[in-house]
Amino acid sequence: MSEAEFLSLSVQQRVAELRLHGEHLGTRQHLSHHVHLYRLHGFFCELWMRAGLNAVEWVEVARHHDILSEYVQINTKDLLR
């Protein structure tokens, strides 16, 4: 499935595709949302859930390095050994 095909799906269909074929890579907090990053068919997707609710508000393709870098955490103590 390509990015364009994924984006043509409804939100419910995108969630189903992530559940079946996605690999969860991490979670970040953005304002009042928990945002989950997935790898899916060679691209990255974010699943947005409002904090305190158990409902998906949006699923989108994540293409920007600034956003993807928010999931990376470096332990500087390990770098200094």
Condensed to tens digits (0 to 9), the pLDDT of residues 28-81 reads: 998 999 999 999 999 999 999 998 888 899 999 998 877 777 777 655 566 555
At 7 the pLDDT is: 96
Residue 16 has pLDDT above 70, yes or no: yes
Residue 26 has pLDDT above 70, yes or no: yes
What's the token pair of residue 56? 């998906």
Rg of the chain over all Cα atoms, to the nearest angstrom: 14
At 5 the pLDDT is: 97
CA torsion 27-30-31-32 (nearest 10°) is: -40
Give Dmax over CA atoms of the chain in angstroms: 48
Sequence-ordered alpha helix ranges (H) in the chain: 3-7, 11-21, 65-69, 76-79
Give the Cα separation of 6 and 24 in Å (integer): 17
At 53 the pLDDT is: 87
Q: Any idea what DSSP says for residue 74?
A: -
At 80 the pLDDT is: 56
Give the Cα separation of 46 and 60 in Å (integer): 5
